[in-house]
Amino acid sequence: MERKDRPNTRFHGRIAGDRPCAAPGCGEAGEFRAPPLEGPGDRGEGPPAFRWFCLDHVRAFNAGYNYFDGMTADEIHAAQRPTAGWERESRPFARGGTDPGPRWADFADPLDAIGARYARAPGAASERRDGKPLSGQDRASLKVLGLEPDADRGALRRRYSELVRRYHPDRNGGDRSHEGTLAKVIAAYQQLRRAPAFA
């Protein structure tokens, strides 16, 4: 195959320009960049410094390039350590430790998968004196039973017994009009007695 005099414009790493090749005595255009003679060094805030070569000379340069040339053993060790380059602190993506909560008021979150994260601001006082967290389902069940968030297991049992006596058909002369409410009371009690806040 016949070799082209100049590389294709899409040749990887080629940057067209009016720069001459940095190799002594070469009249070709310098279209491929390479580190300066003094090595990459610490560029600080300034733009990177490069030498520019033609294709043949940059290939020759790459074949003999040694990044660690001229470094002491300690400098080589520092450059090769696994955490090299990770000294800078990453930019935080959120403020105050958490993203802002959902903005929609009618969002259905029956498992409290999202809402529990935003239930209380960091450092806010707990809803319960014992510090145990309440899920959204816990709060809904407490509302069904008419209990405060700080209720204990004893108060839960007493309130459940009271409501069962109030709504059970056997206590109301066979009246079944409260069966729907009774079912909600039983479901709320069963959920709360297994909840971590009442363990």
CATH number, domain of 152, equals 1.10.287.110
Domain assignment of residue 24, yes or no: no
Distance CA 19, CA 63 (A): 22
Domain assignment of residue 136, yes or no: yes
Q: What is the pLDDT of residue 107?
A: 66
Query: Are residues 76 and 136 both part of a single domain?
Result: no
Q: What is the pLDDT of residue 3?
A: 56
Of 65, 80, 95, the residue at which a domain comes to its end is 80
Judge whether residue 184 has pLDDT over 80.
yes
Average pLDDT, rounded, for the chain: 78
Cα separations (Å) of 156 from 80, 147, 150? 62, 8, 10
Domain assignment of residue 163, yes or no: yes
Domain assignment of residue 147, yes or no: yes
Give residue 65's pLDDT band: very low, low, confident or very high (50, 70, 90).
Answer: confident
Q: What is the pLDDT of residue 112?
A: 67
pLDDT per residue over 118-176, tens digit each? 555 444 445 788 878 888 888 899 999 999 888 888 999 999 999 988 888 887 778 88
Distance CA 48, CA 50 (A): 7
Domain assignment of residue 175, yes or no: yes
Domain assignment of residue 75, yes or no: yes
Look up residue 122 and give its DSSP letter: T
pTM: 0.39
Q: Does 148 or 13 have the greater pLDDT score?
A: 148
Q: What is the pLDDT of residue 125?
A: 47
pLDDT per residue over 90-114, tens digit each? 666 655 556 565 565 566 777 766 6
Q: What is the pLDDT of residue 157?
A: 92
Of 22, 48, 80, the residue at which a domain comes to its end is 80
Instruction: Tell the burial category of 94 from Cβ atoms under 10 Å away from its Cβ (0-12, 13-18, 19+).
Output: exposed
Q: What is the pLDDT of residue 47?
A: 63
Q: What is the pLDDT of residue 77?
A: 87
Domain assignment of residue 39, yes or no: yes
Angle at 197 between CA 196 and CA 198, to 5 degrees: 90
Domain assignment of residue 90, yes or no: no
Give residue 41's pLDDT band: very low, low, confident or very high (50, 70, 90).
Answer: low
Q: In 3-state terms, what secondary structure has residue 107?
A: coil
Distance CA 144, CA 193 (A): 14
Distance of CA 69 to the CA centre of its chain: 40
Q: What is the pLDDT of residue 25?
A: 92
Q: What is the pLDDT of residue 49?
A: 77
- Domain range for 45 is 32-80
**Structural domains in the chain (count):** 2
Cα separations (Å) of 3 from 27, 49, 56, 195? 19, 31, 12, 77
Distance CA 110, CA 94 (A): 26
